[in-house]
Structure 1
Amino acid sequence: MRTKLARRAAAAAALCLTLCSPAPARAAADPAPDSAVAAAGAELAARAAAVAGLDFRPCPAVEDLPDPVRCATLRVPLDYARPRGPQLSLTVSRATATGAGPAAGARESARQGSLVYNPGGPGASGMFFPLVAGLPEWRRVAAAYDLVGYAPRGVGRSGPLSCQDPAEYAAAPTQVPPAPSPQYKRERVAAAQAYARGCARRAGADLAYYTTLNNVRDLHVLRAALGDARLNFMGASYGTYLGAVYATLYPGHVRRMVFDSAVNPDPGRVWYRNNLDQARGFERRWADFRAWAARHHDAYGLGTTPRAVQASYERVRAAVARTPAGGVVGTGELHSAYLRTAYYDEVWPDRAAALAAFLRGDPGPLVRQAAPDPGSAAEGENTTAVYTAVLCNDAPWPADWETWDRDSTELARAAPFETWANAFLNLPCAYWPVSERQRPVAVGGRPAALPRTLVVAAERDGATPYPGALELQRRLGAGAALVTEEGAGTHGVVGGRNDCVDRHVERYLLTGDTRGRRITCAPHPEPAPVSLDDRAASARRALLPPVV
């Protein structure tokens, strides 16, 4: 089950940089930015959903969700300004509350409604979430809440969005230079233009409707269809931004909200500057991995200093640049695999052991960890398409390549590990075929109207750096509490990594009590240095790993 959770959650793309250039062509039937008409359409759709409800039945085989999880579909408007126009069917999953008596210390009845989860991305599916009901760490929460997951618009079977052939998406090996030459930049510009054209060709005018605002409206309709007057919500990574915008637009419909690994919601940082911050955060975490590997030189032989570990990595990189490992792992696949060290310290032992094995002449572990999985190509392509569409539609971007080239070149001097990969991932936004981008919502417009909320963050998180958690707490007002895992950097804190954090989250969900405004927890233990054949000794894996 834990493997399944990790596999499902790992399907989504990371929050990354965008690169912009000349003004994009206009798509047909572009919607205007957020309007009172769309807001009224969302209310109409929510009222209709409250009457219709959801018809939960055994899940289709394609969802791979066993009993007692049940599945349903939720109809939502593609365009909320036309609530009776074209509709999307969102997939929803649920494990009903076990109702095993009142939870310990709870001041309320055993059943407290639905708890809806979004794992982030954008582009990740939360359909797996009800499976945690069977884990001991979730026993009390599962007794009190129906655990509800869903696939947001465009994701999975929820009106799936696609921008390219999955086989093209998964083509390997790829060779990426350590520093991009002018020729390589031109190649990436051409690839980004082709990707944006593919999105427009495959989605047509519908492409403009994949936005955070529409994701929030969908969540509002889902809440109503579940029969809850107020929303209980847990979001990770991008899911925190989704939840924060919901809390801003619908404060009267909020009951409990947990924000795990918070995106900085400052409108001036969505999404361009957030991603500059991320590159610096990833550099810190890559340094943390190298320092850990150096401390365990006796186990891995990669070097006794972070610089020596970097040199070992560069030797592997040079080798796969000459001859791809297993014929499928080039420098692009290698880099992608080792970016995960900046997200999750639980992968550190496997990644260090793979480098060590390769340098001893055995490429097998590296191939197993870094090679693309053809079986998940369609899922990965879909995830990337939704991620790109939402971020490109959500906010205005710098309009010239020179600005981005200058910013990325300067940033890469201090943070070379992720900067250019992050930038090129989002380069299609420079040529996005939707002319009227959304304006980011000013999160926290009426914080006095919100009940207590809970922000959870790791102090050294690279993907969503810690200042974002402080900013979100500030914007949510005096009722927002912040639980900080000090000295740790794994992205996604809730759900099995840290008992102290989980106790605070459980108490809040069951009683509404946050035990103060600023709470600190000691870091979870670093992973043990284990070989690939001795994983059992490593630190336990999180139950709800957020997206990568």
Structure 2
Amino acid sequence: MRTAALLCSAAGTLLLGTLTAVPDAETGTEAAETRGTALAAARARAAGIDFGPCPDAQDLPGSMRCGTVRVPLDYARPDGEQIRLTVSRALATRKDPGGTRREVRRQGALVHNPGGPGATGLYFPLIGLLPEWKRIAAAYDLVGYAPRGVSPSAPLSCKDPKQFFQGPSQAPTHPSEAYKRQRIAQAKAYARGCAERAGDALRHYHSLNNARDLDVVRAALGEERLTFLGSSYGTYFGALYATLFPSHVRRMVFDSVVDPRPGRLWYRNNLAQSAAFEGRWRDVKEWIARHHRVYGLGRTAREVQRGYERASARLAAEPAGGKVGPGQLQGAFLQAGYYDDQWPHRAHALSAYLRGDPGPLVEQAQQYPEAAAEAENTRAVYLAVECNDAPWPTDWRVWDRDNTRLARVAPFETWDNVWANLPCAYWPAPRQRPLDVGAGPGELPPTLILAAERDAATPYRGALELRDRLAGSVLVTERGAGAHGLAGGPNPCVNGHLEAYLLEGRLPGRRADCAPHAEPEPRAPAQPAARAERPAAPGGPGSAGRLR
């Protein structure tokens, strides 16, 4: 992680003059938004939520119910256009999961956001069915919701979903000038599409409004104070919430933390992520090399890298199944950087492909047309939030300079991350002025921060920064591990601290360390490829978008 931090520091040096923003400058606007949030929350408390069957009730247990909450599109105009956020809930079971007849004390609602930006939290209540969550599900109503812009909550779209997946794609680690010009044209077109499809509403999809929406959801649930679990990007607007509404906080868990420093949002954070993924990619390759007897991909990380490069070159010449090119291969292994329980499946697919069987790779890496609408909606929300949140460089030469430099030492994700975020250079909506998050002693109840030391999606530096900004917060670190999203995952030490905090309000000392969870066991290539990974824990690949 030290190497990644140094790479990021070098690559993230920018001329501030290249960043432009149209801040929410007038204090009158900010005051109006404060009044509008209070008014919307009061109305939501009076209306409550009329829970009934969920939109996809045929696929969901009857214990999960759904309803909607009205929020203003623009909090400065609370009587103007309204949008509806869809909320899901599973009531606390109140049953002791230890099998006794003792009834557990209900502690209110636990609201979750899985990150993104652009991920839906509607399926979060189902996590109470997993053994790791039984005790928490006994005490809390588990509540999820689709944030503004995420279907079905006033969904955003920037492009015809039928054109979103366009077959096999390239993934050059050192792109040509012609390729760069092509991607710049695509980024400009995507930004124009967002403006054309969303109109003036586009400017209202940002993190500050996500934090305000969360307070309205709290009020609609009838909660005087919020208990919240934010994962990945959810930690950022959770930190905004703690700053804006400290007296409304009961307990907050920040799981896999975004660096909240205003100057890092979001351009520099993406540089840091690209640098960190190089270290995580090395972790993946070293694990595969340790299991050469199973996968036959090499006894060293360098040999595994050569195999990956052979596969990428072969896919560039002839996409597997006509649908999987180098871009899809890179995307599959990028997901493995988030969760190490994907390593056996990814290694098996690469091994099988190099031995002449493309089936497992096609199964794991291809993009399915039936998922295009959801994927396009996720990307639209991701870009709207991050592009609106803060200044971005508007001069391509800055992007080219910084990322060319970074790609020399961190080629795995760097350029892919550029193409994912480049529409922000040409964004048509005004930018917010990032809030300097923080809370002094006594302003906020103690909060719990969870972080893996080698997390690449949200590098560990962010957890240290948030701990220092929220007085009374305690950081629990999973040492020597890099999974993204720790709550309710495979580490019993981490889960013990989570339960102690949520169920008893008990925190360890200033910081606590947990040993890493066990590495995944290799799976022999002779076995059939798995069609499904384990259910995503909060903040996992379901977190969508690039981060997060």
Q: Give the TM-score of the pair, scaled to structure 1.
A: 0.91
Letter in 1 for 2:372: A
What's the secondary structure of 2:392's corresponding residue?
Answer: coil
State the match for 1:368 in structure 2: 363
CA contact (8 A) 1:112 1:144 kept: yes
Q: Distance in 1 between matches of 2:362 and 2:212?
A: 42
Aligned to 2:124: 129
Q: Any idea what the Cα deviations from partners look like across 1:250-306, whole Å, max 9, x if unmatched?
A: 000000100000001111111111111101110000000000111100000000110
Q: Equivalents in 2 of 1:294, 1:369: separation in Å?
A: 21
1:474 to 468, 474, 487: 468
After superposition, the C-alpha distances for 1:367-420 in whole angstroms (9 at most, x for unaligned) are 001100111110000000000000000001123111111000001111100011
* Distance in 1 (alpha carbons) for counterparts of 2:17 and 2:126: 43
Match of 2:490 in 1: 497
Does structure 1 retain, via aligned residues, the 8 Å contact 2:73–2:82? yes
Are 2:174 and 1:179 equivalent residues in the alignment?
yes
The CA distance in 1 between the partners of 2:539 and 2:439, in whole Å, is 30
**Residue aligning to 1:9:** none
| Larger CA deviation: 177-186 vs 303-312 | 177-186
- What does residue 393 of structure 2 align with? 398
Quote the residue 1:219 is aligned against: 214
8 Å Cα contact 1:78/1:86 also seen in 2: yes
SS of alignment partner, residue 414 of structure 1: coil
Find out whether 1:333 has 2:311 as its counterpart: no
The residue identity in structure 2 corresponding to 1:443 is: V
- Aligned partner letter, 1:522: A
Deviation, structure 1 residue 177: 2.5
Aligned to 1:456: 450
Partner Cα distance (1:311, 1:470) in 2: 36
Distance 1:287 1:230 in 2: 43
Equivalences for residues 264-283 of structure 1 within 5 A: 264-283=259-278
- 8 Å contact kept, 2:173–2:407: no
Alignment match, 1:8? none
Aligned to 1:36: 31
Q: Find 2:434's aligned residue among 420, 433, 440.
A: 440
Once structures 1 and 2 are overlaid, which stretch shifts more, 337-346 or 72-81?
337-346
Q: Percent identity?
A: 61
Cα distance change of structure 1 residues 495 and 23 upon mapping to structure 2, 3 Å threshold: closer
Q: In the superposition, relative to structure 1, how do residues 63 and 155 fare at CA in structure 2: closer, same or farther (>3 Å)?
A: farther
- Report if aligned partners of 1:21, 1:431 keep a CA contact under 8 Å in 2: no
Residue equivalent to 2:156: 161
Q: Which amino acid aligns with 1:149?
A: G
What amino acid does structure 1 have at the position aligned with 2:178? Answer: Q
Equivalent residue, structure 2, for 1:5: none
Query: CA contact under 8 A between 1:95 and 1:147: conserved in structure 2?
Result: yes
In structure 1, how many angstroms separate the alpha carbons of the residues matched to 2:492 and 2:369?
37
Aligned mates of 1:80, 1:401 — CA distance in 2: 34
Query: 421, 424, 428: which is aligned to 2:419?
Result: 424
Counterpart residue number, 2:6: none
Over residues 175-195 of structure 1, what are the superposed CA-to-partner deviations in whole Å (9 max), with x where a residue is unaligned? Answer: 232311111111111000100
Following superposition of structure 1 onto structure 2, how do residues 70-219 of structure 1 map, counting pairs within 5 Å? 70-100=65-95, 110-219=105-214
- SS of residue paired to 1:494: coil
**CA, structure 1 residues 216+191, in 2 after alignment: closer, same or farther (shift >3 Å)?**
same
The answer as to whether partners of 1:22 and 1:401 remain within 8 angstroms in 2 is no
Deviation at 1:22, TM superposition (A): 8.8
CA contact (8 A) 1:73 1:92 kept: yes
Give the letter for the 2:500 counterpart: R
Q: Following the alignment from structure 2 to structure 1, what is the Cα–Cα distance between the partners of residues 17 and 292?
A: 45
- Write the distance in 1 (CA, Å) between the matches of 2:118 and 2:287: 32
Q: Say whether the 8 Å CA contact 1:200–1:433 is kept in structure 2.
A: yes
Task: State the partner residue of 1:511.
Answer: 504
User: Could you tell me whether the CA contact under 8 Å between 2:95 and 2:104 is conserved in 1?
Assistant: no
The answer to whether the 8 A contact 1:56-1:72 is kept is yes
Q: 2:93 is paired with a residue of what secondary structure?
A: coil
CA 1:163 to 1:417, structure 2 compared with 1: closer, same or farther past 3 Å?
A: same
What is the rounded CA distance, in whole Å, between the counterparts of 2:239 and 2:48 in structure 1?
25
Aligned positions, number: 522
Query: In structure 2, the residue corresponding to 1:35 is in which secondary structure?
Result: helix
Match of 2:9 in 1: none
What residue number does 2:225 align with?
A: 230
Cα distance in structure 1, aligned partners of 2:391 and 2:441: 26
Deviation, structure 1 residue 25 = 12
User: Which ranges of structure 1 fall in alignment gaps of 5 or more residues?
Assistant: 1-16
Q: Does 2:472 correspond to 1:486?
A: no
Q: CA RMSD in A?
A: 2.4
- 1:471-504 alpha-carbon deviations (Å, 9 max, x no partner): 0111011x10111001000111111321110111
Letter in 2 for 1:440: P
TM-aligned CA deviation for residue 122 of structure 1:
0.5
Q: Where do 5+ consecutive residues of structure 2 fail to align? A: 1-11
**Helix, strand or coil at the partner of 1:148:** strand
Structure 1 residue 62 displacement after superposition:
6.6
Asked if the contact 2:71–2:83 (Cα under 8 Å) also holds between the matched residues in 1, the reply is yes
Structure 2 CA distance for aligned equivalents of residues 21 and 178 of structure 1: 28
**Which 10-residue stretch deviates more, 265-274 or 309-318?**
265-274
Pick aligned residue for 1:528 from 521, 533, 537:
521
Runs of 4+ in 1 over 3 A off after TM superposition: 19-26, 30-34, 101-104, 538-545
CA, structure 1 residues 432+288, in 2 after alignment: closer, same or farther (shift >3 Å)? same
Amino acid of the structure 2 residue aligned with 1:387: Y
The 8 Å contact of residues 130 and 149 in structure 1, kept in 2 or not, is answered as yes
Closer, same or farther: CA 32–49 of 1 in aligned 2, 3 Å: same
Aligned AA (2:248): H
Further displaced range: 47-56 or 59-68: 59-68
- CA distance in structure 2 between the aligned counterparts of 1:205 and 1:543, rounded to whole angstroms: 35
Match runs of 1:345-360 below 5 Å: 345-360=340-355
